[in-house]
Amino acid sequence: MTVFVLGSINLDAVARVDDLPRPGETVAGLSLELFLGGKGANQAVAAARMGVATRLMGAVGGDDSGAGLKAKLAGYGVQVGDVVELPGVPTGQAHVWVANSAENMIVVTAGANAMVTPQQVAATTIEGQRVLLCQLETPATAIETLFRAGSAKGALRILNAAPALPQGAALFPLTDILIVNQTELATYAKLDREPVKLEEVSVAARKLMSRPDQTIIVTLGAAGAAVVRRDEAFLVEGKKVKAVDTVGAGDCFCGALAATLAAGMDLAEAVETANAAAALSVQKAGAAPSMPNRREVEAFLEG
C-alpha cells in the first residue's frame, strides 16, 4: 500500500485578478500568495492525504525556498528522503494568475526539476512500491528509468502526460495507466479540436494505446472523467460544486487515484473517489493546501 512519485517541486506565486490579461495587457492583482506547488509535489500531497504511505523523488535548489518546500512536504506526511538539494541551482517556480471565474494561466520555470537524472533514479530502491506515479515536469529519461525498473518489480505505472510534450509520447509504451485532459489528448492524438463526447474521447484515446492491456483516463473538468480501455469506455460523472480555484485539481485527481489503487480499490471506484477529491480541491485556494484528506472525501461521497 505505497505510492512512489517522481516529479516536480515548485514555489507557486499565485496572483488573483478580476480577469486574465490579454496579450500586451496589464491588469491589477487583487492579492499575491506563495504556496507549495509543482505537479509532483501536488500529487504526492494528494496521495499522502488519502492515507497512503507516499515517497517523493525530485530536486530543489540549495536556497531558502528549497528547504522550506521540503519541510512543508514533510508536514503533509510525504516522505522526502529522495528529494535532493542542489547548491547553486534555483528551486522551480510557477507564476499563476487566477481570475474570479476560477480560470487560470500558469508559467513554470523548471529550475532544479530539470536536474533530476536517470542515475539518481537508478540509485534508489523501489522494492515494495505498489504504484509509481510520474508527470512531465521532470526529464523523460529519469521517468523511463523508473518505469523500466518498476516493470521488473511488478509495480503499476501511472503517467500523467502533462504538460503535453513530444517526449512524453515515447513513454506511453511503458505506461499502464495514462492520464490526460482534453487539451492534452487532442495534442497527442493530433486532433484539430478537443473531443467532448465519450465516443469522440474514446476513439482519440485509443490512438494513444500501444498495448491491449493499457487504460487511458481522460479528465473532463466538471464533467468528470472518461475511462477508456481497448474493449470498453465509460464515464464517471463529476460532482457539481462552486469552484474557487481550479489550480491543482488535475494533480489532486492523479494523486488520489494512485493512492486508492495502491490501497486495492478497483478502477471504477478509484476514479469516482479521485473525482470527488478533485471536486473538493477546487473549493479551496492553492494547489497542495487544497488537497482533501480521506475522511473528507468519504464524507463527500456519502453526502
Q: pLDDT tens digit string along 36-69?
A: 999 999 999 999 999 999 999 999 999 999 999 9
Q: Which of 91-105, 108-122, 125-139 has the lowest mean pLDDT?
A: 91-105
Q: Write the CA distances from 141 to 86, 91, 103, 252, integer angstroms.
A: 19, 20, 32, 25
Of the listed ranges 57-66, 113-122, 124-133, 181-190, the least confidently predicted one is 124-133
Mean pLDDT of 77-100: 95
Burial group, residue 254, by CB count within 10 angstroms (0-12, 13-18, 19+): buried
Q: Is 165 helix (H, G, I), strand (E, B) or coil?
A: coil
Residue 280 lies in a domain: yes
Indicate whether 244 pLDDT > 80: no
Q: Is 161 exposed, middle or buried (0-12, 13-18, 19+ CB in 10 A)?
A: buried
The pTM (predicted TM-score) of the whole model is: 0.93
Q: Are strands 92-99 and 104-109 parallel, antiparallel or unpaired?
A: antiparallel
251 is catalytic: yes
Q: Look at residue 43 in the predicted model and tell me its pLDDT.
A: 98
The answer to whether residue 211 sits within a structural domain is yes
Range of the domain at 149: 1-7+36-91+109-300
CATH of the domain at 59: 3.40.1190.20
Which residues are part of a known binding site for ATP?
Answer: 181, 219-224, 250-251, 275
Per annotation, catalytic residue among 63, 82, 176, 251: 251
Annotated binding site for substrate: 10-12, 38-42, 137, 251
Place of cell 480521506: 294
Annotated binding site for K(+): 245, 247, 281, 284, 286, 290
Q: 146 is written with which cell numbers?
A: 523508473
Domain assignment of residue 118, yes or no:
yes
Per-residue pLDDT, 102:
78
Domain count, the chain: 1
